[in-house]
Structure 1
């Protein structure tokens, strides 16, 4: 009998501490920088600077980041964050006076000055640029959009650059290693193209032409 009571007590104790641990690891409202034990947000997070841990924010993320004042002075373009260096995942609405430089994933809507994230899904509007490893959805930037792989619509004033893109690129200069869809700009370049290019000058593996260029491969060929 005593053994059974002891076993029940141990189970109840583990459940209690497990629930308490869950409370510590998530909260309705959080602030960054934050206690290392308080990682996840289910509601509202208010942050100062781009100071995140490996945490998840589900809901609204408001970030005040004065780095935007010196961002144009950075001499070298910031790369896509790696799996090891990326930090926060935001699912919902992300609003920032600066932006992320080491984001893991953004799912939803992001409005910021700049954006550097490993994976971006949804819609983003950026004053300067969007640099993402995987870029899916609609993304509008005042300067450039950069991606290793993208799907959807990319619009920028200066340029769109992607290793592998499926969808529509609109900018002064569009460049992709592998493209399936449409490029619209003053200059469009793609090493492997399946689709249409409209611009002052267009280049793909088949030909170089002004105004309009195309390459529609057969179904047997893989882009």
Structure 2
């Protein structure tokens, strides 16, 4: 393979130890090692973009999910419990939207997390490394958060059908607090994984 040009340093793959040579015609020749390095770099680029997209999507939806749950637990339900709402309609809409956000986020996290785990870990590293344990912890928190939001929202909506506000809010609040704790834990574990905390141990 030849790269034509007067300067033999141009077009040389970075990190190659083989220097380009010139043949009798003055053209620069490139070794097989340099070609292999260039091909590997081009082949790895789509994988890097794919991983970056998956990680970004994973973190964005985790933050959206956690933020929604924490907002309902810390703001909406305490206000409803204290009688700040005169009608059940706003609370029904909020609960319905939260359920939708929770289900969509749970699905996206499952798909993106499965993709990342499948391309990053094997069975040995998943169960035998710090990062692998963090992944398993995230899966457990994902299951807990999904279940808590579903159960709490259903109970809250069932209470609202009786045109009551304070009592359903008071009864649902502990489960939403537990869901908020799980949501914060999910974000903490995601942050530890992103920072590759295993390097510090």
TM-score by length of 1: 0.26
More helix by share: 2
Question: Whose radius of gyration is greater, 1 or 2?
Answer: 2
Which of the pair has the greater relative contact order for Cα pairs under 8 Å at 6+ separation? 2
